[in-house]
């Protein structure tokens, strides 16, 4: 039986393992941590359960199809609900916008609360759906680095549609053309942060992202985001995938044009196929050192990182929902801090995720499990202790001001996740959440490919390679490499 070795049990590594085991390989996953999931983990403390990393779940079909290809009924392993309210938005002048997943209700809400018309919102979301349709097949489901990908009717039609996809304008320029009210513009600009980018630099084609929420839906797994990891690991083990935890890979042995085995403290694991889920920077820095490849990866700007406070809050706030955004008044300056001066803006946009609004067991009765996050730069030698202390103070001032209540007094439990911790825990270079940013119109083409041109049995999956970061794209990367590999 042919063997496949997967380096890393992040969501893309687990998905690749399931796909290859189904193909007939005997798959061994090696993970440096004592637990699977990489960024997709949870914290359970003092009666509060927090999803530690991702909080927004779109495109659940990319998870459920892994059960289907394994001959299992997805709902026996993994259940999820669709959210009616996508997000509640709060502005400093007291305006509150509730984004209903029903586009007409949302468009009416925008017309009522801003100077923009419902018609403009509908047209904008139609354009978002158009971009998705025009690019999904080519940019998200296929390698951009195989000639065969370009020799298809769908690719040729995609290329003809490029002038209509806003790749030559920034996302903000497109949104400023579509809307007049800064509140609506900020709301749509924020979608650039879904892959760690800057809406003032990222191309307008990223206006595809609202369609993922408004067109395809936002979901919450029963039991929380971490159930994505749990249920897939359960499936993988059932079909025969073997996992070794606390097993850090320190190198990949190669011979001529083949990757032969991976090296850990406890020995060598030989593989006919080797798949790296670890950040591509780690691969070229530590596993198959290559100064040339590393320099190429380094040329690309990293995505933003995050500072998260997990707060057990001793009170419920009816105005908050599962996803909430408290906007800064000066979004442009916030992004200049993130990507230019690599600092944290004093009035950051604050995201509060409260799964206990939907999953009652996630917090004691009358309380809430707050995941409070701001976007921060990735790690460039800043004085993080000072920056984090200042940011915590500013976040508390902002939330307290907008909700009219002293939030610090309500904190019953506190834990935090910083860019350095993200780097240390998952080997994500500079602690970036989504690998490289999309702050350049050619980013999609510069992102590392899913295979090695030097070693013909070495493949790459996960958020740092094509098609990019976020759970759906990380799962797509596993699907793409599945199309290359034969058993």
What residues make contact with ligand FAD under the rule CB under 6 A? 7-13, 30-33, 38-40, 53-56, 248-249, 277-278, 282, 306, 308, 422, 426-428, 433-434, 462-463, 469-471, 474
Closest distance of CB 175 from ligand FAD, Å: 21
- Residues sharing a CB contact under 8 Å with residue 66, sequence separation 6 or more, in sequence order: 15, 18, 19, 232, 235
DSSP-derived letter for residue 286 is I
Are the beta carbons of 298 and 282 closer than 8 angstroms?
no
At closest approach, how far in Å is the CB of 8 from ligand FAD?
2
Q: Please provide the DSSP assignment of 228-240 as one string.
A: HHHHHHHHHHHTT
**448 Cβ neighbours under 8 A, 6+ residues apart:** 280, 297, 460, 464, 465, 466
CB-nearer residue toward ligand FAD: 207 or 426:
426
Structure tokens at 242: 């073997």
| Between 325 and 422, CB nearer to ligand FAD | 422
State in angstroms the smallest separation of the CB of 300 from ligand FAD: 16
CB of 306 to ligand FAD, least distance (A): 4
Pairing of strands 368-376, 350-354: antiparallel
User: Tokens representing 347?
Assistant: 């009035």
Q: How far is the CB of 43 from ligand FAD (least distance, A)?
A: 12
Give the list of residues 6+ apart from residue 301 with CB closer than 8 angstroms, or none.
Answer: 339, 436, 437, 439, 440
Instruction: Please say which residue, 55 or 261, places its beta carbon nearer to ligand FAD.
Output: 55
Specify the residue for token string 């794209």: 473
The residue among 222 and 401 lying less far from ligand FAD, judged by its C-beta, is: 222
Q: Residue 107 or residue 338: which is nearer to ligand FAD going by CB?
A: 338
Closer of 67 and 371 to ligand FAD (Cβ): 371
Dist CA 473 CA 61 (whole Å): 12
Which CB sits closer to ligand FAD, 138 or 264? 264
Query: Six-digit token pair at 273?
Result: 């196929």
Question: Residue 234 half-sphere exposure, CB side, CA atoms within 13 Å?
Answer: 12
196 backbone φψ class: left, alpha, beta (φ>0; ψ -120 to 50): left
Question: DSSP character for 480?
Answer: H
Question: Rounded to an integer, what distance in angstroms lies between the CA atom of residue 224 and that of residue 45?
Answer: 15
Q: What is the rounded CA–CA span in Å between residue 166 and residue 180?
A: 19
Asked whether 91 and 327 are in contact (CB, 8 A), the reply is yes
Residue written as token pair 């195989």: 146
Nearer to ligand FAD, 12 or 205 (CB): 12
CB of 82 to ligand FAD, least distance (A): 16
Which residue's CB is nearer to ligand FAD, number 121 or number 326?
326
- Least distance (Å) from ligand FAD to the CB of residue 409? 26
CB of 12 to ligand FAD, least distance (A): 4
Q: Shortest Cβ distance from residue 160 to ligand FAD (Å)?
A: 30
CB closer to ligand FAD, 271 vs 462: 462
Using the minimum distance from each CB to ligand FAD, give the nearer residue, 108 or 248: 248
| Shortest spacing between CB 16 and ligand FAD, in angstroms | 9
Please check whether residue 195 is in contact with residue 438, taking contact to mean a CB–CB distance below 8 angstroms.
Answer: yes
Which residue's structure tokens are 């006919």? 272
Shortest reach from residue 470's CB to ligand FAD, in Å: 4
In whole angstroms, the minimum distance from the beta carbon of 169 to ligand FAD comes to: 25
**Length of the chain measured in residues:** 487
Nearest Cα residue to 116 out of 134, 93, 97:
97
Q: How far apart are CA 342 and CA 339, in angstroms?
A: 5
The CA radius of gyration of the chain, in Å to the nearest whole number, is: 22
Cis bond before residue 467 (omega within 30° of 0): yes
Given the complex with ligand FAD, which of 50 and 179 has the nearer CB atom? 50
Question: In sequence order, what are the beta bridge partners of 276?
Answer: 7, 460
């Amino acid at each position: 039986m042919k063997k496949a070795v997967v380096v890393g049990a992040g969501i893309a590594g687990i998905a690749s393992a399931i796909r290859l085991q189904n193909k007939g390989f005997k798959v061994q996953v090696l993970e440096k941590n004592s637990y699977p999931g990489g960024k997709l983990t949870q914290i359970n403390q003092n009666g509060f359960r927090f999803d530690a990393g991702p909080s927004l779940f779109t495109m659940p079909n990319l998870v459920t199809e892994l059960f289907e290809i394994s001959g299992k009924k997805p709902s026996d392993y993994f259940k999820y609900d669709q959210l009616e309210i996508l997000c509640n938005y709060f502005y400093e002048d007291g305006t509150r916008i509730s984004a209903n997943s029903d586009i007409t209700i949302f468009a009416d809400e925008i017309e009522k609360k801003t100077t923009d018309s419902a018609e403009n919102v509908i047209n904008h979301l139609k354009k978002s759906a158009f971009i998705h349709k025009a690019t999904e097949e080519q940019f998200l489901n296929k390698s951009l680095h195989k000639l065969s990908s370009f020799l298809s009717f769908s690719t040729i039609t995609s290329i003809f549609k490029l002038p209509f996809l806003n790749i030559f304008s920034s996302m903000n320029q497109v949104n400023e053309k579509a809307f007049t009210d800064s509140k609506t513009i900020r709301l749509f600009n924020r979608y650039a942060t879904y892959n760690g980018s800057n809406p003032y630099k990222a191309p307008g084609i990223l206006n595809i992202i609202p369609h993922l929420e408004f067109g395809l839906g936002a979901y919450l797994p029963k039991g929380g985001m971490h159930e994505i990891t749990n249920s897939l690991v359960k499936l993988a083990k059932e079909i025969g995938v073997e996992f070794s935890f606390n097993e850090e890979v320190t190198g990949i042995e190669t011979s001529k044009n083949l990757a032969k085995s991976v090296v850990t403290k406890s020995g060598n694991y030989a593989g006919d196929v080797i798949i790296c889920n670890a950040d591509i920077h780690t691969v070229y820095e530590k596993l198959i050192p290559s100064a040339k490849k590393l320099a190429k990866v380094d040329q690309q700007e990293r995505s933003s990182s995050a500072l998260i406070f997990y707060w057990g809050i001793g009170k419920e706030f009816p105005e908050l929902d599962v996803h909430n955004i408290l906007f800064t008044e000066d979004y442009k300056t916030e992004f200049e801090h993130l990507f230019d001066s690599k600092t944290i803006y004093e009035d950051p946009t604050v995201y509060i995720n409260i799964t206990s609004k939907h999953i009652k067991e996630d917090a004691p009765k009358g309380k809430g499990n707050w995941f409070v996050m701001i976007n921060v730069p990735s790690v460039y030698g800043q004085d993080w202790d000072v920056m984090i202390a200042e940011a915590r103070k500013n976040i508390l001032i902002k939330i307290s001001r907008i909700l009219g209540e002293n939030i610090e007094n309500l904190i019953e439990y506190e834990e935090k996740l910083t860019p350095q911790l993200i780097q240390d825990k998952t080997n994500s270079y500079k602690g970036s959440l989504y690998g490289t940013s999309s702050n350049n119109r050619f980013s999609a083409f510069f992102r590392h490919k899913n295979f090695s041109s030097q070693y013909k049995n070495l493949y790459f999956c996960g958020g740092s390679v094509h098609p990019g970061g976020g759970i759906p794209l990380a799962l797509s990367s596993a699907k793409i490499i599945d199309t290359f590999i034969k058993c």
